[in-house]
Chains A and B, each alone.
Chain A
Amino acid sequence: MNKVENNKAWFLVLPMLLLVAFSAIIPLMTVVNYSVQDILGSSAYFVGTEWFKDILNDSQLQQALIRQFIFSFTILAIEVPLGIGVALMMPKKGWRASLILILVTLPLLVPWNVVGTIWLIFTRTDIGLAGVGLRELGYAYNITRNDGDAWVTIVLMDVWHWTPLVALLCYSGLQAIPQAYYQAARIDRASRWAIFRYIQLPKLSNVLVIGVLLRFMHSFMIYAEPFVLTGGGPGSSTTFLSQTLTTMAIGQQDLGPSAAFSIIYFLIILAVCYCFYVAILNMGRDKNTSQPR
């Protein structure tokens, strides 16, 4: 075969490049563009890092950020152990396994805003099961007045919606452990806890990395569910970062600061995820990451 020397191959890459440019690079550069300019009507002034300074010093945003971190770490602290627990209890095979798998997966199939609506109705104090039930029991439950009630309800809602994801990941990890390990442990007279600690947990570490990363990213960007359920209230006690950003960008049309905020938001997620990734990877690396030779 004759070889033709030319650069035609670049044309084959071009469609993909264009696609990425339109879908990612151009929108992102618009945001970068806005974040360093003050735009008034048709005139724009270059303001350098002024918006970034403003954003970082804005106490309302700082509080939303703190709230966001508390929320994300709370749900991680609940969903990861709970998910592992659920996975451990699920049957391994047979029709029961299929049935339980479907039941556990169900919440994952519900759209975000529907989840919010379901819980809004569930917690209503006039017709909702939880709302009326708690009132009957003598507790003055009210998510529109009590910060605590609103928080607990939002955390519960997220746990209900997303624990199945962690459970599914762990379930698949557990299924991959050969039976011989359990048999060997029984022969060694290892306790149930020892089996979990020395066989199941090490074998789960890989799926847990994925689980923690996904859950962190998801929860850090949470918007629809609390927006529908509490609207960010009472006051601003359940206003998380994305809702703050939306209010600023769309409600107040502060495009410059919003753009700067978006970039900071994006960088925080990137940085925290990277930290998680490195931390969990290193946790394994001390122990057993080298490939078998």
Chain B
Amino acid sequence: MSLALERVSKVVGGQEWIKDISLTLEPGSFNVLLGRTLAGKTTLMRLMAGLERPTSGAVIMNGVDVTGMPVRKRNLSMVYQQFINYPDQTVYENIASPLRLARLPKDVIDQRVRETAQMLHIEAHLERFPLELSGGQQQRTAMARALVKDADLILFDEPLVNLDYKLREEFREELRELFKAKHCIAVYATTEPNEALALGGHTAVLHEGELLQYGKTPDVYHRPKDILTAQMFSEPPINIVAGRVTESEVTFDESVHFKLNQDLSGLKPGNYQFGVRASHIGLVPHADDDLELTVRVDLAEISGSETFLHVRSEQFELILHLSGVHEYAVDQVVKVYFPTHKIYVFDSTGAVVHVPTRLGGR
């Protein structure tokens, strides 16, 4: 089963919520919709599900136009941000409900319910009621309900937002495993770039109703087609520094410049914007061609075992994503090392003109 959106738009009250999106999802693929709130993730899912009709454009399933087909006639399931279960039915009955509505024989239902419950580790709670369970278990029940019915399309609308950090990591790993054996299309909406990276598969980056880029998740991450995509798909956002390329040098400002290396030698002279990921700037040099910058600390944000170091020079600001806890005083002068071979270069319109070739990790 494949799903294609063809030039789909959705206008609500004069506002374009979805702007002319074309997207083809392959059978058996796991797709992440990445975007901030109001990017159109949920609307796009509702269009895919048939809960809403696109203002223009078509939704094609397996080559058949299903644009006007009501959701009741489609075979799909959805998991929400809230934990949605039937409150007065047990976990078992909840999971069985889609199968009962499909009028399957009792023994088949029983077998599938137990299998699915086992996959999601809730087999011990089948006789309990949803509200007697923890949030994570309630969401597992909702996921089991979505997975049990062998839907062609499964939609996850930020399902892990209301769970704690540890549970989210656990879930992500399980989800990837669960879908390896499935042939359905999974669509997963999230606001977190790191969640998209952890889930893998394909990623569609959305921004204000527009589809910026779609492709394999690592490809989109490593080769964003423009500044906006790079900014949307990085947490903390990629550092952007304006600069000039001359015959032999890259200049950020009077004092900061470096020789054009092999990677950048193809660039024509002119004004560019240079992007570098927060995790690529270090406190110690990693390569010979790293550029040493002397900057002042604005803020050292310590989050668990990581530190986000906000620094500024005369002309620009940078964020460093460091592992480990680093304490700095405000206005303290530090030296940071800017990796000149891990630079993204965007032209004045924002389109990417150079992607670093030597990439490792995030």
Residues on A facing B (Cβ under 8 Å): 178, 180-181, 183-184, 186-190, 194, 198-199, 201-203, 287-293
Contact = CB atoms under 8 A, between A and B. Distances in A.
Could you say which of B76, B86, B134 has the most chain A C-beta atoms within 10 Å of its C-beta?
Answer: B86
A233 to B, nearest CB: 46
7 contacts: A187-B76, A189-B72, A198-B86, A199-B87, A287-B87, A288-B88, A293-B132
The 7 closest A-B CB pairs, nearest first, are A202-B88, A287-B88, A288-B129, A198-B86, A184-B84, A290-B132, A202-B87
Nearest to B70: A186
Contact of A288 (B49, B72, B130, B145): B130
Contact of B51 (A181, A186, A189, A190): A186
Nearest to B155: A187
A198 B101 contact: no
A194 B93 CA distance: 13
Contacts of A184: 78, 80, 84
B130 A187 contact: no
Contacts of B98: 188-189
Could you say which of B87, B130, B131, B145 has the most chain A C-beta atoms within 10 Å of its C-beta?
Answer: B87
Given A184-B78, A203-B87, A288-B87, A189 B101 contact: yes
Contacts of A202: 86-88
B82 A180 contact: yes
A287 B129 contact: yes
A230 B44 CA distance: 64
B97 interface: yes
Given A292-B131, A293-B134, A186 B86 contact: no
Nearest to B86: A198
B77 interface: yes
B28 interface: no
Contacts of A287: 87-88, 129
B11 to A, nearest CB: 20
Interface string B308-333: 00000000000000000000000000
A289 B87 CA distance: 10
Contact of A180 (B71, B84, B89): B84
A288 to B, nearest CB: 4
A289 B89 CA distance: 12
A181 B94 CA distance: 13
Contact of B101 (A181, A190, A288, A290): A190
Contacts of A199: 86-87
A114 B71 CA distance: 51
Contacts of B82: 178, 180
Contacts of A180: 80-82, 84
Contacts of A289: 131
B126 to A, nearest CB: 15
Interface in B29-83: 49, 51, 71-72, 76-78, 80-82
A180 B161 CA distance: 15
Nearest to B131: A288
Interface of B: 49, 51, 71-72, 76-78, 80-82, 84, 86-89, 97-98, 101-102, 129-135, 138, 145
Contacts of A189: 72, 98, 101-102
A285 B101 CA distance: 27
A146 to B, nearest CB: 45
A94 to B, nearest CB: 14
Given A190-B101, A292-B135, A198 B88 contact: yes
Contacts of A293: 132-134
Nearest to B77: A187
A181 B49 CA distance: 15
Contact of A186 (B72, B81, B89, B129): B72
Nearest to B73: A189
Contacts of A290: 129, 131-132
A116 to B, nearest CB: 41
Nearest to B98: A188
A202 B88 CA distance: 6
B51 A183 contact: yes
Given A186-B72, A190-B97, 17 more contacts: A180-B82, A183-B78, A187-B71, A187-B77, A188-B97, A189-B98, A190-B101, A198-B97, A199-B87, A202-B88, A203-B87, A287-B129, A288-B130, A290-B129, A290-B131, A292-B135, A293-B132
B57 to A, nearest CB: 22
Could you say which of B72, B78, B84 has the most chain A C-beta atoms within 10 Å of its C-beta?
Answer: B84
Contacts of A203: 87
A186 B74 CA distance: 10
Contacts of B51: 183, 186-187
Given A186-B51, A198-B89, A293-B134, A181 B84 contact: yes
Contacts of A188: 77, 97-98, 101, 145
Nearest to A289: B131
B49 A187 contact: yes
A149 to B, nearest CB: 42
Could you say which of A178, A183, A290 has the most chain B C-beta atoms within 10 Å of its C-beta?
Answer: A183
Contacts of B129: 287-288, 290
B78 A187 contact: yes
Contacts of A187: 49, 51, 71, 76-78
Could you say which of A181, A187, A291 has the most chain B C-beta atoms within 10 Å of its C-beta?
Answer: A187
A48 B191 CA distance: 77
Nearest to A191: B101
Contacts of A183: 51, 78, 80
A128 B36 CA distance: 65
A194 B89 CA distance: 12
